Structure 1
């Protein structure tokens, strides 16, 4: 968890930029707020999309953080809406990932390592057969459930950040909360498995929060229908009690590229 003394720094301090993250679909900068490293995505730098309203991605990132906090799973780093050098935008606490861990990986076809789940087979850039795999871990189970609730349309492998202590953070949640089903993720390895009592406890905690403070927070960030459908997805998930399968439609269920 983020130390309490750092939480006020992100929204309150002066934001200084050090560079731009390339390549990125939307304008993304690395900077610092009072000595704390952050990521800044100004609303003015959001690329228009055909299926998401213009200028809403930053608010969706903040909404995803609010859901993460209500779950109590510390998936999304501290994220706020605030002003910056290029206008209002999303500012998120930077998390230093480690290089020697790969929660989501590409391996030779069928060569699934111990402790990993197989997701799908395909061809790499050299037309060699490969398999996409991800960790079989409590951290990725929770992230997969989180993605179902927020309807994450862009859970790429690179959006899963491995921490040195084994924790995993999820980032880049601008494509979330759509009223239409848009779940695109590389974390399909748990499909059909029962939700554990501990996981259900977090989901029930989220349900209670949606009826109170979290619901009010999301109402300021999303449309009324988006909040209503989020609660509906959560109720369905709890009622079914299992990790849902991909939608049976022509809509892609894996983001492209997957990394």
Structure 2
């Protein structure tokens, strides 16, 4: 049995990715979450409605021991299964001007996005290399590509994942493993709820915020065999805000 693991899969873009992969593939879906079990169970129901196996898995992506313990336990329960697709979607924001930024606000944001990428990718890539196939998609951001004032920590974290995507993509391409990044702009999710959509949409050439489903469709394409010759790429999905 082949699985797709989506970190931060309980809500927003992560949930949309889980559902779109369930619609378009026969992967078992592993839904990672950190605290909101109820939301993760809702996502599980959405996946199962498409006939796919689904399970929820609680761990903080920034905690390497928790990641290893959870995935090793899963592997022991499922000795013949392997994770063919990894979507590193989990991320947090703690915005504020750099001059007043607390160390904890810097570290927690960087640890979640950057160390989370390392902790998950390092685990799954071992088996991908042995199987000579795999798909890793990293959720970055327009902030990680162009930088955003008030988000130096988030921009640094996502920008580092952009560079890591390009480097790792080169390392593993010969084994039919692709590593790509998706950089959303303003997308309607919990994370953008407090933003004045009407005002901010004026900055977007497409004159609207994107839908989580639109991002998920792009992720699904990158995890498919149709995207076999795309690796080390960062694909912007932002309505033209940065192009």
Task: Tell whether the structures are fold-level matches, with TM greater than 0.5.
Answer: no
Flag the structure with more relative contact order, 1 or 2, with Cα contacts below 8 A and sequence separation at least 6: 2
Higher helix share: 2
TM-score for the superposition, normalised by structure 2: 0.27
Computing the radius of gyration from Cα coordinates, the structure with the larger value is: 1
